[in-house]
Copies of this chain bind each other. A is one copy, B any other.
Amino acid sequence: MNRNLEARPRYQVIKDFIYQAIRDRTYPAGACIPPENELAKQFSVSRMTANRAIKELVADGLLVRRQGLGTFVTRIQAESPLLEVRNIADEIRGRHHIYSNDLSLLDRVRVDDNLAGRLGIRVGDHAFHSLIVHKENGRPIQLEDRYVNATLVPDYPQQDFCQTTPNRYLSDLFPLSEIEHIVEAVLPNKQEQELLKISPTTPCLLVNRRTWSEGQLISCARLVHPGNLYRLSSRSSLA
């Protein structure tokens, strides 16, 4: 069990093997994969270890199990990587409209308890905070309220955000490896009403976006869009 040189747990080796076999269609959609006992024998592990590998792949949605029957490759694959990392400026220019923005705030803050959780850093550490209004043909279309890990991105405040959006700057600097979106419907608070020039009863789409690079949480942003001006859309084919 000396893993100093080996590093990979055995259940992970089995997961990788099955994952690969699904990807290259050795086990096509709907196919039955070898039973736990056989996997255990082939990889010289106990059944419990094979079981763990399979259970995790089931949790990931790649396999389904039926007691008494066997373990099968999921037919409906590939939930879409929804809500891509769209750059709002590119999106607007793609509509042949004019993009502009206002930087209405940029400072350095100590993170409180709540923010520390969202940014994955310790209470009291520093973060940069920027508040930018993105405009399409001069009309506010998105309010970007962003916190950035100051340790990882010390030069963040030196950027000229008229030229480069934070989104683009950060993703150029750090290769994006993971992204999270949480979408809800809200009413705007006072500040949001003013900056977006909307009424208190205009429903807004709130997108909470967090981005990681190599396991490091780089930034979290709160993107507020007036509901009548913006839609998220996705269409995906399922294998």
**Chain B nearest Cβ from A132, distance in angstroms:** 20
Q: With the chains together, A175 CA to B239 CA distance in Å?
A: 10
Q: With the chains together, A84 CA to B131 CA distance in Å?
A: 31
- The interface on chain A, measured as residues whose beta carbon lies within 8 A of the other chain's beta carbons, has a size of 45
Report whether B177 and A238 are in contact in the complex, using a CB–CB cutoff of 8 Å.
yes
Enumerate chain B residues within 8 angstroms of A187, measured Cβ to Cβ.
Answer: 201, 203
A238-B76 contact given A182-B232, A183-B183, A187-B201, CB 8 Å threshold: no
CB of A6 closer than 8 Å to a CB of B: no
**Closest 8 interchain pairs by CB?**
A185-B227, A75-B117, A203-B203, A185-B203, A180-B235, A185-B185, A183-B232, A81-B236
Contact residue among B30, B76, B181, B232 (Cβ-Cβ distance under 8 Å from A85): B76
Q: Mark A64-86, 1 if CB is under 8 A from B, else 0.
A: 00000000000110011111110
- Quickly give the copy total for this chain: 2
Could you list which residues of chain A lie within 8 angstroms of chain B, going by C-beta atoms?
29-30, 59, 75-76, 79-85, 113-114, 117-118, 175-187, 201, 203-206, 225, 227, 230-238
Enumerate chain B residues within 8 angstroms of A177, measured Cβ to Cβ.
Answer: 237-238
| Max chain B Cβ within 10 angstroms of own Cβ: one of A81, A114, A184, A201 | A184
Report whether B201 and A237 are in contact in the complex, using a CB–CB cutoff of 8 Å.
no
Give the nearest-CB partner of A213 in chain B.
B238
Report whether A204 and B203 are in contact in the complex, using a CB–CB cutoff of 8 Å.
yes
A233-B181 contact given A203-B186, A203-B204, A238-B81, CB 8 Å threshold: yes
Report whether B178 and A205 are in contact in the complex, using a CB–CB cutoff of 8 Å.
no
